[in-house]
Chain A
Amino acid sequence: MNRRQWLQAVAAGAVSTVAGAQEGIPDHPEDLAYPALSYDPPDPARFRHELDSGAVAYLVEDRQLPLVTLSLTLRAGTYQVSGESAGLAGFAASQMRAGGTASRTAQEFDEEAAFLATQIGCGAGATSMDASVDCLASNLDGSLEMLFDMLKNPAFDPERLEIARARALQGLARRNDRLEGIRSREFRRLTYGDHFTTVQSTKASIESITPDEMRRFHAERLDPRGMHIAVAGDFDTNDMVGRLNAALSGGWPANPLAPGEIPAPTHDPEPGVYMVDKSSRDVNQSHVTLGHLGISRSHPDKFKVQIMNSVLGGGGFTSRIMVRVRSDEGLAYSAYSRFAPGTYYRGTFSAGFQSRNATCAQAAAIVIEEIERMQNDKVSTLELDTAKNYQVEIFPRFFATAGQIAGTFAQDEFTGREKDYWKTYRERVGDVSADDVLDAAQRHLRPEELVVLAVGDKQAMLAGNPDRPEYSFERLAGDRGIGEIPLPDPVTMEYPES
């Protein structure tokens, strides 16, 4: 796979004249000459197989190690579950794995997998359910049989359910312990409002889950026609196609429902400065995020936005927010911005850091300055080239292993990514100009819409840094004032009136 040609002649020319230790070493790495590297991404058609059920599989052989991994994705997730049942999708998936099957008790299933040294997993997220197996090639028969037994005939052992429920209920109570957990939950609420991604499970919803509820979820959602399967490792492709066809042909729920549309968020976020007061003894650090709604990944500006964000705060140590907040000022260990492109609807733009309580306002002001600078000035050629070169140079890393190749293509098809995405990826990155970046910053960064969320010691954050009185959250908030978000009851998720 991944054929490429080294232009060896260039390499030889660059090194063969070296004699002494210092000679042949350029004064600056910019003067190094590299052999060219030509790389073509793998062609998905080579690995794609339509199965008899209508499911699709990407099979990528790699015989270097005697291992096989298979992952299977289907349309079943929390978006199909009402708020009263929040938690059901995740429970149904994890209890398929934990609760035994029609012919194996929970314990037998676990023991058998453990003895084969086979890892079998099942989980559900917002929009998909994923089941996987990772086994020695010599145990492929038994491992696949177990995977499909789990998917077709889950028993939902009530005892295992109670153990999982007790653990989940205990976990609920601890949802306000970590600053990071609070920050991500409240930022999502501020940007997406009333949406399935902001629905939280509660004591009542967790307690409402029964084996029958999970059985119903299974019967309605496990549809072998819509599966996207990725297999990588030490197997024979034709043999695997036969195995998958056989496994998908019978024994599945008889009348699965149509999966249903994934709802887009409709919330109109309210810009402003918000604080969650979460002060703990001796903790002199708070977590801050600034952001607003972003773009979906199919947006025509996607590559421009990606490069723009890389210069702003997505490019690690070379990006502006990192340089100013961390390297120059020493205000944070981690400082970043992120355009998380939504797969099915608009994603979010966010920038964030953790800093000493007294310096949070200063760091937030720097982030806003940098956002505005992106909109006012063109980026330098050096910054633009760094961001673009990086994306082009690391391109082969997306397909570094058989598992990545199979997984990427299966996910692409499952999520409906444009067919020519990888083929034109480097070209589209290459086409981004400094004007495009400025344009993307002006269109897609909107400082006037920023939601600024600070979670931590409110009093200390408001007090600010006596050496830098020019920075304060009051000043950032302006006439709007600072909104206070109270901590909800972690068990019922009811928010007290503030």
Chain B
Amino acid sequence: MTRLPLLLVALAVTLPAQRVDVQEFALDNGMRFLLLPQEGDPNVAAGWVSKFGSVNERPGVTGVAHLFEHMMFKGTHKIGSKDIGRDLQIIEELDALRGQIQAERATLLEKQRRGLIEDADDPEARSPEHGALLKRFEALIEEQRELIVKDEFSRIYTTNGGSGMNAGTSNDYTIYFINVPANKLELWFWMEADRLLNPVFRQFYSERDVVKEERRLRVDSTPTGKLDEQFESMFWQSSPYSWPVIGWPSDLNAITRDEAMEFFERYYSPNNLVAALVGDFDVDRVKELAERYFGRLERGSEPPQGVRTREVPQQAEQRLTGHAETRPAALVRFHTVPDAHVDEPPLIVLSSLLNGRTGRLYKSLVLEQRVAVQARAGVDGRKYDGSFQISGVAAPGSAPEDVERALLAELRVLADEPVGARELQKVKNQQLAGDFRKLRSKFGLMVQLLVYEALGDWRNINVFSDRIQAVTADDIQRVARKYFDATNRTVAHYHTQEGAGPPPGGPGQRPRGGQ
């Protein structure tokens, strides 16, 4: 330790954090733009965000924000069809048929429930009308397939060198992004404005199947996917954060095109959108292009600011015990504060004290007690609420109970004893270096600006560093005492279960959910 020159302790004050110098402007329709021209390679990282996500859904249509995001790549009146008139007709007809097919299927499911048939999916069990409807549906899909210019939206970007095109839906926002060659920036304006003006949700039903596969991939077929989902759902009692972004399976089977359209009309008017551009461009020209292309969007009604149903204070500790093909582990989560709350910086610094090779969890749980092989802490500050989670994977010979006990003991130390000056300075130094590192990628910076903005205000990117550097040992002790309370926590224990089969502890018939 004595090896270190003394002046290093002052590292934090010798290097002023870099300010992100964004130029901002708004169109008459309320759409806002964050511009950060930067020298370097001939490329622009471009994206926009709708400040709404799965938290704005309601039961029955969970997953619609994400499904809608998928539909935004299916084309427009001008992109994706050889005959838009017939295309739109077919879409209407498909919707009507789908309603009738659903009704037939509901009858079969009811018969299956009553034991009158074995399998609702057996083609033999269908009524002749049902069969005819399915045939008609297939025929229309075939006809539409002939009209569709396949994945034209993607092809146009691809052939012009757009790269990394994608989108993401979170609880709080939905973000669409791409890299475009600097000389082709106008293409971005054309494409993004067009899909906001006239989106066409063609291939809706096959895309819904794609999302179901995505759900199977991300949730069902990973060892702890479904347990993690249940833990999340159990942690949030009344908040809409309790349902998964990708949606419950029952809802994915039932969401209609009209419901996706409704979500669009409500949450995608320009007054709810913010775009960000980072890279090689001319600000005046971008303003002109923004006016010309996005200026055509009509301001919509203001959607309700803030969700109505909020989390109720937790009254008792909650626990989940699950079995999966995974290493034994314990997770402990506490309700804390939303993003940008004054208590968030101390909680972030507190989590940094616990994390990393020199963090308290590694030193105590892994090196000294040998109760865990890895452990970490994390802060999840969302728009309306937040949480703090601490978790560890049990070492051979240890159980989740042992890990939980050791994790909670570390939190108690943080509440009982002030952190030392050098340890605090260490994590502040790391945070400061991290502030520079996060500016290295233009694409990453574009995404960060949109996320900060979606959660509150992009300017928080510039004050974040100062807030972290201002955290004191007292602050840390204060938040540790305030939030790490037994009635405020939800605990999960994962036990190892080898291979397939029912979980131990009783033959209880597992209730069957959706499909």
B288 cross-chain contacts in A, Cβ below 8 A? 15, 18
In whole angstroms, how far apart are the Cα atoms of A478 and B426 in the complex?
A: 64
**Which residue of chain A has its CB nearest to the CB of B433?**
A117
> A14: nearest residue on chain B (CB-CB)?
B186
A389 near B: Cβ within 8 Å? yes
* CB of B420 within 8 Å of the partner chain: no
Report yes or no: A35 in contact with B183, Cβ–Cβ below 8 A. Answer: yes
Q: Does B106 contact A (CB under 8 A)?
A: no
Segment among A190-198, A219-227, A327-335 that sits at the interface with chain B: A327-335
Tell me if B41 and A281 are in contact (CB < 8 A): no
CA distance A332 to B79 in the complex (A): 24
> How distant is A230 from chain B, measured CB to nearest CB, in Å?
15
Q: Are B18 and A114 neighbours in the complex by a CB distance under 8 Å? A: no
A107-120 toward B: CB 8 Å interface, digit per residue (1/0)? 11011101111100
Q: Which of B158-166, B264-272, B302-310, B477-485 contacts A (4 or more CB under 8 A)?
A: B158-166
Known: A65-B18, A167-B373. A27 touches B437 (CB 8 A): no
Residue B116 at the A interface, CB < 8 A?
no
Are B214 and A333 neighbours in the complex by a CB distance under 8 Å?
yes
Contacts A112-B3, A136-B433 hold; do A327 and B203 have CB atoms under 8 A apart?
yes
Q: Tell whether B40 is near chain A: CB-to-CB under 8 Å.
A: yes
Of A53-61, A393-401, A443-451, the one with at least 4 CB within 8 A of chain B: A393-401
Q: Indicate if the CB atoms of B41 and A397 lie closer than 8 Å.
A: yes
Do residues B217 and A174 form an inter-chain contact, with CB atoms below 8 A?
Answer: no
Q: Do B181 and A112 touch across chains, with their CB atoms under 8 A apart?
A: no
CB pair B15–A138 under 8 Å, yes or no, is yes
Which residues does chain A contribute within 8 Å of B155, judged by CB atoms?
A: 317-318, 382, 386
Interface residues of B in 193-223 (CB under 8 A from A): 203, 205-211, 213-214, 216-217, 220-223
Given contacts A333-B213, A354-B221, A356-B213, contact A392 B440 (CB under 8 A): no
Residues from 53 to 81 in A contacting B, C-beta threshold 8 Å = 64-67
In the complex, per-residue mask of A134-145: 1 if CB is within 8 Å of any chain B CB, else 0: 111011000000
> Given the complex of chains A and B, what is the CA–CA distance between A134 and B433 in angstroms?
10
Interchain CA distance A173-B207 in the complex, whole Å: 37
A6 at interface (Cβ–Cβ under 8 A)? Answer: yes
Question: Looking at the complex, which of A252-260, A282-290, A343-351, A413-421 is the stretch in contact with chain B?
Answer: A282-290
Complexed CA–CA distance, A36 and B221 (Å):
47
Q: A240 near B: Cβ within 8 Å?
A: no
Is B122 an interface position by the 8 A CB rule? yes
Q: A21-B292, A333-B214, A396-B41 are in contact. Are A34 and B426 (CB under 8 A)?
A: no
CB distance from B325 to the nearest CB of A (A): 4
Quick check: is B421 within 8 A (CB to CB) of the other chain? no
Across the interface, which residues of A come within 8 angstroms of B191, CB to CB? 29
Contact across chains for B8 and A116 when beta carbons are under 8 A apart = yes
A330:B357 contact, CB within 8 angstroms: no
Known contacts A136-B433, A316-B158; A65 and B440 CB within 8 A of each other: yes
Q: Of all chain A residues, which has the CB nearest B373?
A: A167
Let me know if A386 and B432 touch, CB within 8 A: no
* Set A66, A135, A318, A356: member contacting B151, Cβ < 8 A: A318
B499 to chain A, nearest CB (A): 8
Q: A177–B436 contact, CB under 8 A?
A: no
Give the chain B neighbours of A4 by CB distance below 8 A.
Answer: 42
Q: How far is the CB of B328 from chain A (nearest CB, A)?
A: 9
Least distance between A444 CB and chain B CB atoms (Å): 23
Given the complex of chains A and B, what is the CA–CA distance between A26 and B370 in angstroms? 66
Contact of B160 among A159, A282, A389 (CB under 8 A): A389
Q: Which of A34, A37, A138, A280 contacts B14 (CB 8 A)?
A: A138
B495-515 CB contacts (< 8 Å) to partner A: 500-502, 510
Question: Does A39 make an interface contact (CB < 8 A)?
Answer: yes
- How many residues of chain A get a CB closer than 8 Å to chain B's CBs? 96
Instruction: Say yes or no: is A90 at the interface (Cβ < 8 Å to chain B).
Output: no
- Evaluate contact between B183 and A34: CB separation under 8 angstroms: yes
Q: Across the interface, name the chain B residue whose C-beta is closest to A168.
A: B373
**Contact B213 A285, beta carbon cutoff 8 Å:** yes
Q: Given that A174-B326, A285-B220, A333-B210 are contacting pairs, would A66 and B15 also be in contact in the complex, using a CB cutoff of 8 Å?
A: yes
Chain A minimum-CB-distance residue to B211: A333
Known: A108-B1, A318-B155. A65 touches B439 (CB 8 A): yes
Of A282, A331, A356, most buried by chain B (CB within 10 Å of CB) is A282
Whether A292 sits at the interface, judged by CB under 8 Å, is no
A384-430 at interface with B (beta carbon < 8 Å): 385-386, 389-390, 392-394, 396-397, 399-401, 403
- Select A326's contact among B210, B357, B437, beta carbons within 8 Å: B210
A394 shortest CB reach to chain B, Å:
5
Give Cα distance in the complex from A478 to B76, angstroms: 44
Are A34 and B217 in contact, CB atoms less than 8 angstroms apart? no
- A6's contact among B78, B183, B374, by CB below 8 Å, is which? B183
Query: What CA separation (Å) do A30 and B155 show in the bound complex?
Result: 11
Q: A390 near B206 (CB under 8 angstroms)? A: no
Report if A117-B430 is in contact (Cβ < 8 Å); known contacts: A32-B190, A333-B214.
yes
A396 near B181 with CB under 8 A, answer yes
Q: Residues of A contacting B442 with CB < 8 Å?
A: 400
Q: Which of B116-156 contact A (CB under 8 A)?
A: 121-123, 145, 150-151, 154-156
Q: For residue B289, which residues in chain A have a CB less than 8 angstroms away from its CB?
A: 15
Q: What 1/0 flags go to B350-370 for Cβ under 8 Å of A?
A: 000000111000000011001
- Interface assignment of A496: CB less than 8 Å from any CB of chain B: no
B207 partner, pick from A15, A159, A330, A390, beta carbons under 8 A:
A330
Q: Which residues on the A side are within 8 Å of B11 (C-beta)?
A: 117, 136, 138-139
**Interface contact A354-B216, CB-CB below 8 Å:** yes
Hey, which bits of chain A sit against chain B, CB under 8 A?
2, 4, 6, 11, 14-15, 18, 21-22, 24-30, 32, 34-37, 39, 64-67, 98, 104, 107-108, 110-112, 114-118, 134-136, 138-139, 159, 163, 166-167, 169-170, 174, 176-179, 279-285, 287, 315-318, 322-323, 326-334, 354-356, 382, 385-386, 389-390, 392-394, 396-397, 399-401, 403, 466-467
Q: Which 5 A-B pairs have the closest CB atoms?
A: A393-B161, A330-B209, A330-B206, A317-B154, A117-B433
In the complex, 27 of the A-B residue pairs with CB atoms within 8 angstroms, ordered by the A residue number, are A11-B285, A29-B79, A35-B183, A98-B357, A114-B357, A115-B426, A118-B433, A136-B15, A138-B15, A163-B373, A167-B374, A280-B221, A281-B500, A281-B510, A283-B216, A322-B151, A327-B206, A327-B207, A330-B205, A332-B213, A333-B217, A386-B158, A393-B159, A396-B41, A397-B179, A400-B43, A466-B122
Given A22-B296, A115-B4, A284-B216, 12 extra CB contacts under 8 A: A15-B285, A28-B78, A64-B39, A117-B432, A136-B433, A170-B395, A317-B73, A327-B203, A386-B155, A396-B181, A401-B440, A466-B121
